[in-house]
Chains A and B, each alone.
Chain A
């Protein structure tokens, strides 16, 4: 009997664990280690953050789902890996620290035959002094990255709306809280949902709403922008993004590295090297992401974290990490199988794998400050990678170590993304977008780097319907309800 250990029960880890449990049956064991008792459909946190959904609507208890799937569930966080075992045993193991199940604070060594690291991002609020989600981590800005953060953001937004009702003009600042953030899409959704709610409340004239972002141009989204066919033209996402901001009266600052947040004020540096300040009454700034800080040790107990993980804490996989200039980047630099090059029984999926380089063009201010978005790994690629990696592990377990691995390169796959711009079955809108492939391939598609037949975007109520239906569909799938396997990632 082999044991697959999955670290992280988010989009990638939950997908990997549930498919692996289904494919392996009861002959083998699947163990999930994840610190939260609840699963969270993160995209809908945006609606929690504007008071349009409750925390309960975007989360559910993991325990009964894992019981049903025959998965061993440990509510714990992984701390370190010993891929060669210890002095007394060759069996590799992960040291975990419980966060629940009545064992909070206890440590355990969980052995494995195969390991999938799907621990997602560490929300690195500490990278910018003062940046936070409004409670323990920093009191000045809010966040929508977790359901709890989003609930807190909604409470703060309500206070801002009350002030506007009393005739107090309010300044709202939303965007990215550091020069190396990713996830601009989430901030984009939040700013337009906030604007939509303020407009619905009849208070639009009382609010100055501003966007601040590390993207060098509007519509970069960490993917170097995208080009789509519209009205017979091939058009950059910049044109449509700037159009939406102009239509909704939202000013913007781009190419900004927020370097300090104080009460009601952010300080930032721009790509041209100039410094600026922006005041606010309410601000949601996305933190930069890093790996969750797992350590690795060899058999002798020596620290081999640098061998297993990249300096940003994400796990090294079968990517080409040789540093090279932007002009020499290739689609083939991106990983195919997500297998760790040193320890072949370890894989990484979702945000947890280390990308070979950015997707957007790298940029620095004259002062040497790096200001460019890091590559997004959104829900669909994270799910597809999780499933491919689970498939590989199941084949290795069932067919032996020579079994061919499954591939899921972000340079060969597309992504469908629906960005909400306001919630409402009759008056909501969302930008429905697809990109193909996620990572530009200028050898295959000289010009835009992508296939413009499969890269498109459109804003409207239909997009909102899709987004809202996907909310129910993905929670249904994650709960492993009938026919869950036929719902695509």
Chain B
């Protein structure tokens, strides 16, 4: 069976074998424009809250 790309690195090194590596869906979300636009708004709000608590 062909190895899934996200599982490829596990075998490369012990350091990687013990880590969590994102799968196809999690990786796709990272650059999915619609999802990231929503995250952009959420992150800005979260950051502004921390900024306002710090001034």
Contact = CB atoms under 8 A, between A and B. Distances in A.
User: What is the interface of chain A mostly: helix, strand, loop, or mixed?
Assistant: mixed
A3 B37 CA distance: 48
A416 B22 CA distance: 24
B51 interface: yes
Nearest to B32: A461
A465 B12 CA distance: 32
Contacts of B44: 466
A280 interface: no
Contacts of A429: 30-31
A461 B46 contact: no
By size class, the interface of chain B is: 20 to 34
A460 B15 contact: no
A86 to B, nearest CB: 40
A195 to B, nearest CB: 13
A346 B46 CA distance: 35
Contact of B36 (A242, A413, A460): A460
A251 B39 CA distance: 29
B32 to A, nearest CB: 8
Given A427-B31, A462-B36, A245 B15 contact: yes
B4 interface: no
Contacts of A384: 54-55
A436 B46 CA distance: 12
Contacts of A239: 19-20
A321 interface: no
Interface string A358-382: 0000000000000000000000100
User: What is the interface of chain B mostly: helix, strand, loop, or mixed?
Assistant: helix
By size class, the interface of chain A is: 20 to 34
A380 B39 CA distance: 22
B43 A463 contact: yes
Contacts of B12: 249
Contact of B54 (A247, A414, A432): A414
A275 interface: no
Interface string B29-54: 11111001101100110111111111
A107 to B, nearest CB: 39
Nearest to A434: B50
Contacts of B51: 380, 414, 416, 488
A114 interface: no
Contacts of B54: 380, 384, 412-415, 436
A251 B48 CA distance: 35
Given A243-B22, A465-B40, A251 B13 contact: yes
Given A429-B31, A460-B39, A461-B36, A246 B46 contact: no
Nearest to A248: B9
A181 B22 CA distance: 30
A1 interface: no
Contacts of A251: 13, 15
Interface of B: 6, 9-10, 12-13, 15-16, 18-22, 27, 29-33, 36-37, 39-40, 43-44, 46-55
The 3 closest A-B pairs by CB, nearest first: A246-B19, A413-B54, A246-B16
Interface of A: 239, 242-243, 245-247, 249, 251-252, 380, 384, 412-416, 426-427, 429, 432, 434, 436, 454, 456, 458-463, 465-466, 488-489
